[in-house]
Structure formats: structure tokens, C-alpha cells
């Protein structure tokens, strides 16, 4: 089963946590939650460079750092915050960037409202599962040296 690490704020309060778990289960994934010690939160926020007011957003930062450092095993990352929270939007975007720069985990972000249903998340969860399952097929390596391409159009074929 593919493990999707959930880094989020407000999903329990908004009543959408069960919808997230239903969407993950539908595509054959399991939501996991990175564990961090309370003592790790302060240093993680300091290293991150942004100190949000919300303790839940600080926890999100510490969880993201644990994932990026490889201290927690996950196949993909789902980052989510409330649509109405400006500070959450900043943290969500910067956590996405941080994880992408410091790890090779696929990341999907989502800003939710209180009326979220599992069907709205289905496509995003399916994309995460597909990326993890087909990683070898979707992998791209940086090309070095001379590269040649062929363009086969409707009337002519050109080599570039």
C-alpha cells in the first residue's frame, strides 16, 4: 500500500479529515502522519525561516522537515490548509517548495473549504498514487552532451 504523508492544518476542525482518508482509500493509499517531538518544532521553524503564529502551522513545518530529512518513511506528500487562512497559504506553498528542494517525494497541495467531499480529492490522490506506482516510467534524467530530436509533423519530418 502506498503511504501518503499528510501535512495539514485544520482538517479535524473543519470536519474534512474523514473525506481525505476516504479519497486515499479509494485509490489504494493510506494516509500517514509524520511523528515529531515537541523539542524539534522550534529548531525546524527557525531553520525554515518563517515563524507562523499558529501552533498547527509550526507543526506542519516540523513534519515537513522530518520528511525531507528522511526520518519518516512515506511515498508521497499531501499538503493541505484552509482556503481562508492567508498564513496557511504561505506555509503551504513554502512547505511544498522545501520538500521538493530537499527530497524526491512527489507533492500535491490543496486548499480546502468546510464543504469538501472525497470526490473533489479523488483526482489529486489518484495522481499521487500513479506517480509513486509508475515512478520508473515517469522519471526523467538530465540530458548531457548533444541532443537530437525528430519532429514528425503531418506533412514533413524534420531533424533538429
13-27, 30-44, 128-142: range with highest mean pLDDT: 30-44
Predicted structure pTM score: 0.79
3-state secondary structure of 129: helix
In this prediction, residues 23-32 reach a mean pLDDT of 91
Mean pLDDT throughout 112-118? 74
| Tens digits of residue pLDDT in 36-87 | 999 999 999 999 888 999 999 999 999 999 999 988 889 999 999 888 888 9
pLDDT of residue 136: 67
Query: Average pLDDT of the chain?
Result: 85
**Sheet with 107-112, edge to edge strand ranges:** 29-32, 2-8, 76-82, 107-112
Task: Please report which confidence band the pLDDT of residue 139 belongs to, taking 50, 70 and 90 as the band edges.
Answer: low
Out of 3.40.50, 1.10.3470, 3.90.320, 3.30.870, select the CATH number for domain 2-159.
Answer: 3.40.50
Give the pLDDT band (50/70/90) at residue 18: confident
113 pLDDT tier (thresholds 50, 70, 90): confident
What confidence score (pLDDT) does residue 114 get?
A: 67
Amino acid at each position: 500500500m502506498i503511504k501518503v504523508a499528510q501535512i495539514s492544518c485544520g482538517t479535524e476542525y473543519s470536519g474534512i479529515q474523514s473525506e481525505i482518508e476516504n479519497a486515499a482509500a479509494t485509490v489504494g493509499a493510506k494516509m500517514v502522519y509524520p511523528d515529531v517531538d515537541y523539542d524539534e518544532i522550534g529548531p525546524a521553524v527557525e531553520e525554515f525561516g518563517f515563524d507562523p503564529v499558529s501552533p498547527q502551522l509550526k507543526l506542519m513545518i516540523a513534519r515537513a522537515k522530518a520528511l525531507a530529512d528522511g526520518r519518516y518513511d512515506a511515498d508521497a506528500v499531501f499538503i493541505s490548509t484552509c482556503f481562508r487562512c492567508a498564513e496557511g497559504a504561505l506555509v503551504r506553498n513554502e512547505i511544498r517548495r522545501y520538500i521538493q528542494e530537499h527530497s524526491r517525494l512527489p507533492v500535491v497541495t490543496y486548499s480546502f473549504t468546510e464543504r469538501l467531499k472525497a470526490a473533489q480529492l479523488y483526482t489529486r490522490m489518484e495522481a499521487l498514487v500513479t506517480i509513486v506506482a509508475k515512478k520508473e516510467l515517469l522519471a526523467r534524467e538530465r540530458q548531457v552532451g548533444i541532443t537530437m530530436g525528430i519532429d514528425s509533423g503531418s506533412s514533413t519530418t524534420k531533424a533538429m
